[in-house]
Amino acid sequence: MPQPLPSSAPKACIIGFPARHSRSPLIHRFWLRQHAIAGDYGFAEVSPDDFPGFIRDLASNGYVGGNVTVPHKETAFGLVHDATATARALGAVNTLWFEDGRLMGDNTDVAGFLASLDADAPGWDARTPTATVLGAGGAARAVVYGLLARGVERIHIVNRTLARAQALAEHFGQLFSGRQIAGAGWDALPGLLPASSLLVNTTSMGMHGQPTLDVDPKTLPETALVTDIVYVPLETPLLAAARQRGLRTVGGLGMLLHQAAPGFARWFGMTPVVSRALYDDVVADLLATTEGSKP
Ligand code: ATR
């Protein structure tokens, strides 16, 4: 029988509404077991009304920090004492921890996205003068910021709602003057693909149970890289079409795994590795819990 944890054992959680679907506990418990660390990571389903109080009482309830997910990332940014430059650029926080009793915030989606590309397509940034990003929501913010931080010169943000794409382009245009960042509607996409070195889907389209993403990668350059932040299924129809065309592809699960590592390091005192064993563990869980889909 597992021994009860000592009351001093560090404890973190995923705070969302809903939160139960999250794979973060699976990931952090894998690393806790792997390194024989006495600690825990659980679920905290917290409504928007209850969120500020939950954050205020985080430490007194025994938490050393946690992750924040939909719909709380922007609210969390407004509640932290201080935030990393990345979180400030995004106006959103997904990782909380304490320093000298003060609540700190980071947005590790950016590092997660970049680390996933670095692991699965090493050297991609040196080959990416121009990127096209599909979507203009919170995930697109993290992706666009990451691409700019890595030196991508031209970014097209393509979105169903043109005004949202333009607003995002303007936001980052002010932060990164000298780069070319433009918003476009969905109809502009065919004209953009032939000059795109990287195509990133940040929308939920192509996800199990969601509408299909109707993008044909055949006019992308043959050296292009295609990546999708959707990870159920593991290979989305977009990625399958790109692979069949002979393009390099990176799936979305890597981003989820890599974004978890910086939080673990802050709460539990060591930087964990995103290993094949962790990947397989999460895939097994996706297979067991995602009805009818083939991750
Ligand atoms: P997230 O934080 O996960 O990025 P979000 O902020 O709700 O979520 O953004 C979802 C993105 O997917 C948006 O770019 C959205 O387009 P709109 O801004 O036009 O709403 C896009 N999206 C979701 N479903 C879509 C669909 N069926 N067709 C086109 N775009 C869609």
**pLDDT per residue rounded down to tens, the chain (295 residues):** 566 676 789 999 999 999 999 999 999 999 999 999 999 999 999 999 999 999 999 999 999 999 999 999 999 999 999 999 999 999 999 999 999 999 999 999 999 999 999 999 999 999 999 999 999 999 999 999 999 999 999 999 999 999 999 999 999 999 999 999 999 999 999 999 999 999 999 999 999 999 999 999 999 999 999 999 999 999 999 999 999 999 999 999 999 999 999 999 999 999 999 999 999 999 999 999 875 455 4
Query: From atom 3 of ligand 1, which residue's Cα is the shortest distance away?
Result: 139
User: What does each C-alpha distance from 262 to 48, 62, 81, 84, 97 come to in angstroms?
Assistant: 25, 20, 19, 12, 11
Please measure the distance between the N-terminal and C-terminal CA atoms of the chain and give it in whole angstroms. Answer: 32
Separation of CA 30 and ligand 1 centre (Å): 31
> For residue 211, which atom of ligand 1 is closest to its CA?
27
Judge if the beta carbon of residue 202 lies within 6 A of ligand 1. yes
Is 218 designated active site?
no
Looking at residue 3, its pLDDT comes to: 65
Judge if the beta carbon of residue 158 lies within 6 A of ligand 1. no
Judge if the beta carbon of residue 135 lies within 6 A of ligand 1. yes
Query: From atom 30 of ligand 1, which residue's Cα is the shortest distance away?
Result: 160
Longest dimension (CA), the chain: 61
Looking at residue 291, its pLDDT comes to: 54
User: What does each C-alpha distance from 162 to 107, 136, 159, 166 come to in angstroms?
Assistant: 25, 9, 6, 6
Looking at residue 292, its pLDDT comes to: 42
> For residue 73, which atom of ligand 1 is closest to its CA?
2
CA of residue 260 relative to chain centroid, distance? 9
What's 210's DSSP letter? S
Q: Rounded CA gap, 19 and 5, in Å?
A: 23
Separation of CA 270 and ligand 1 centre (Å): 35
Closest CA to 283 of 260, 245, 256: 256
Looking at residue 293, its pLDDT comes to: 54
Task: State the catalytic residue, choosing from 11, 73, 218, 294.
Answer: 73
Judge if the beta carbon of residue 136 lies within 6 A of ligand 1. yes
Instruction: Report phi then psi at 261, rounded to 5.
Output: -60, -45
Separation of CA 199 and ligand 1 centre (Å): 16
Separation of CA 62 and ligand 1 centre (Å): 36
Judge if the beta carbon of residue 159 lies within 6 A of ligand 1. yes
* 188 in Cβ contact with 159 (< 8 Å): no
Separation of CA 152 and ligand 1 centre (Å): 23
> For residue 186, which atom of ligand 1 is closest to its CA?
29
